[in-house]
Amino acid sequence: MKAKHIIKRLSAYLAPYRIRFIEALLCMVVVAAVKSGRVYLLKPGLDKLIESKNVNLIVIFSAALIVLTLIHAVVTYIQNYLLAYIGQRVIIDVRNETYSHMQNLSLDYYLKRTTGALLSRLTNDMMYVQNAITTVPVKVIRDGLSCVGLLIVLFALNWKWTLASLIFFPLVMFPIKFFARKMRKTSRQTQEKMAGIYALLAEKLSGIKVTKAFAREKREMKKMEESNWDYFNVIMRLLRAETLQRPILEIITYTISVVIAAYVINSIFRETVSVGTAVAYLAALINFYAPIKNLADLNKDLQSSLSASERIFRVLDAEITVKEKPDAKNFTGLKDKISFENVSFSYSGEKDDVMAVKNITAQIRKGTTFALVGPSGGGKTTIVNLIPRFFDPTEGRITIDGVDLRDFKLDCLRRSVGIVSQDIMLFRDSIRNNIAYGADKATDEDLVRAAKMANAYDFIMDMPCGFDTVIGERGATLSGGQAQRICIARAVIMDPPILIFDEATSSLDTESEMQIQKALDAIQAGRTTIVIAHRLSTVRRADNIAVISSGEIVETGRHDELLAKNGHYSRLYNIQFKIQ
């Protein structure tokens, strides 16, 4: 992505705050004007002082310089405050837009990226962008105006000297341009390394229990040390370029200043110029090169922010693969059946790639229980993930009452599907808010009803604050069975017409499983239920069972029918009950 394009996109975020930005711009003009005027004032002031030797004039001259300095300080404060305000507001807008887009991105986007890397976009990269908004305008606009103003002063004082000094100007700009390319590339690598550290932290901290269970603390420490050293090596390349750039500019600008100063002093000796003109010219020259040297700092800030902005814009430009049609209709409930029509699916979305599920054709009648069984990795979870449109089929289609799922509004469809996954996901919040997560208007009666259905009511009431008890991240303060029952209650409270249980009772003991199975039988009454189970005892009463192997349906039928076939299901059943 080109720098010009990135800057143009960033500038668009300033539009809502253009009034404050104009105010800040006016402040920059005042600062630049005061800075130039203060320097130019030295010529008439010093000349008159030397000529008149009037003590009162010294007081007036000194007071004028102090007043100009006070004006400079106050206006600089206002300018910095306005830019800080704009920077914070823009970052809020960019972060909100980025997070909103992340919420709308399809699940396939997250399968290819780490949580830590995405967190880095919302935190570390945003910091660089904010820094750019608050510092780059100051260094570009204010210092640019200061350079223009001081250049006018220099020409006004002595145009010949000024033309001579500008001959050396390309020497100043060369290192700035040279290091800009180097720092842009290195800055991008630095941010990628930091994203790697975020990814490592997110993964290892969420899996800290596994680390401790296998006593791998030292190994994880070593990984973090290696990541930190990788980051250190890259950022030192960036800092090396940054720290080398400024001394080179110092040498060039100082050498030019010394040469010109020697000539100006020689002109004083020859009495071809007044002391006031000479002092004012040297002061203007020094002040002229100071903002140019600030471009060294600007260079690093600008390149870092461009790299960070590019990474953020890549997220914003990521395509939403599961889209809602403009004329999508509301889902008003299942009236007849869900149909899989020759459905195949690849996680890459490419037809020529390996298919996770292949040629699935099945019908799930309203009010029936449809079970998916088979060995792990066969594609059972992938199949059910297609129903709420977490993914769309690569080939074929899924319909509800003859209408393609892609013709329904996404939120309407998903609110009609209650899901309990084998992966327990609870938030660090109260039990009340976790259960009512998908039902904003749930009453206390609804909470109690859902909790009782999931066999969770008794242990919830035994907790210190009941439904208001705050649980740990991912339900860390609950047992596995308790956490799973909260998840079941969360699905039930929505009163959805379609239920999906993906190993919903896998974390429960035998007694709790039996109690919940009874509750689930009652819950399933009048609802269409899709069950994934490894414990075949839980699907005996299913209206239809599909055996999935290597992404394909290899057998279908009721429990007794499948046993009589003496095929895949029968073999799985016999193995399981022999073990028991």
Can you give the pLDDT at residue 386? Answer: 93
Place of tokens 């510092």: 135
Task: Read off the DSSP letter of residue 140.
Answer: I
CB 98 within 8 A of CB 315: yes
CA distance 482 to 471: 11
**62-68: long-range contacts at Cβ-Cβ below 8 A with a sequence spacing of 24 or more?**
65/38, 65/41, 68/34, 68/37, 68/38, 68/41
Sketch out the chain's domains with CATH numbers.
3-316 (1.20.1560.10), 337-579 (3.40.50.300)
Side chain identity at residue 350, one-letter code: E
Spell out the per-residue pLDDT of the chain, length 580, in tens: 677 788 888 888 888 998 998 998 899 889 888 888 888 777 777 777 777 777 777 788 788 888 988 998 999 899 888 988 888 888 889 889 988 898 888 888 888 888 778 888 888 888 888 877 777 777 777 777 878 888 888 888 888 877 877 777 777 677 777 776 677 677 777 878 877 787 777 777 766 766 766 677 788 788 888 888 888 888 888 777 777 777 777 787 778 778 777 877 887 777 777 887 888 878 887 777 777 767 666 766 777 788 888 888 988 998 888 898 999 999 888 899 999 999 999 988 777 778 899 999 999 999 899 999 988 888 899 999 999 999 999 999 999 999 999 999 998 898 888 888 877 788 888 888 888 888 878 888 888 988 888 888 888 898 888 888 888 777 777 877 788 888 888 888 888 889 898 877 665 666 666 666 666 676 776 789 999 887 787 788 889 999 998 899 999 999 989 888 888 888 888 887 664 4
Residue 14 contacts residue 90 (beta carbons within 8 Å): yes
Residues in the chain: 580
pTM over the 0.75 mark: yes
pLDDT at 505: 67
Are residues 387 and 343 in contact, defined by beta-carbon separation less than 8 angstroms? no
Residue 478 Ramachandran class (φ > 0 left, ψ -120 to 50 alpha, else beta): beta
pLDDT score recorded for residue 340: 94
Radius of gyration of the chain, Cα coordinates, nearest whole angstrom: 35
Give me the half-sphere count of Cα atoms (radius 13 Å) on the Cβ side of residue 113: 20
Distances (CA, A) of 202 to 120, 188, 220: 11, 21, 13
CB atoms under 10 Å from CB of 261, counted, come to: 15
Report the first-to-last Cα separation within the chain, whole angstroms. Answer: 61
What phi and psi values does residue 304 have, to the nearest 5 degrees?
-65, -45
CA distance 194 to 117: 8
Q: Which two tokens stand for residue 357?
A: 């599920």
Burial class of 454 by CB neighbour count within 10 A (0 to 12, 13 to 18, 19+):
buried
Taking the CB of residue 278, how many other CB atoms lie within 10 A of it? 22
DSSP state of 142: I
Residues 564/545, Cβ–Cβ less than 8 Å: no
Cβ-proximal residues to 293 (8 Å cutoff; 6+ apart), any chain = 246, 249, 250, 253
* CA pair distance 58, 70, nearest whole angstrom: 18
